Amino acid sequence: MQDEGYSFPSTTINKKLKKHCQFISQTKLISSYITDFFFFFFIMANHIVLLSLVALSFCYLAFAFEPSPLQDFCVADPTSSARVNGLACKNPMTVQANDFFFSGLHIAGNTSNPVGSRVTPVNVAQIPGLNTLGISMARIDYAPWGINPPHTHPRASEILTVVEGSLLVGFVTSNPDNRLITKVLQKGDVFVFPVGLVHFQQNVGYGNAVAIASLSSQNPGVITVATAVFGSNPAIAGDILAKAFQVDKKIVEHIQSKF
For the sheet with 223-224, list strands across it: 180-185, 167-172, 198-203, 147-152, 223-224
Cα-Cα-Cα-Cα dihedral sign, residues 212, 215, 220, 222: negative
Is 151 assigned to a binding site? yes
Spell out the residues 6+ positions from residue 70 whose beta carbon is closer than 8 angstroms to its own: none
Please report, for residues 3, 53, 59, 115, 213, the alpha-carbon distance to residue 227 in angstroms, rounded to integers and kept in the order given.
Answer: 117, 43, 35, 12, 21
User: At what angle are helices 238-245 and 249-256 packed, to 10 degrees?
Assistant: 110
Q: Is 125 helix (H, G, I), strand (E, B) or coil?
A: coil
Is 148 assigned to a binding site? yes
> Of 6, 23, 138, 126, which Cα lies nearest the Cα of 75?
126
Is 199 assigned to a binding site? yes
Rounded-to-integer distance, Cα 201 and Cα 169, Å = 4
Q: Detail the residues annotated as belonging to a binding site for oxalate.
A: 148, 153, 158
Q: Detail the residues annotated as belonging to a binding site for Mn(2+).
A: 151, 153, 158, 199
Q: Detail the residues annotated as belonging to a binding site.
A: 148, 151, 153, 158, 199
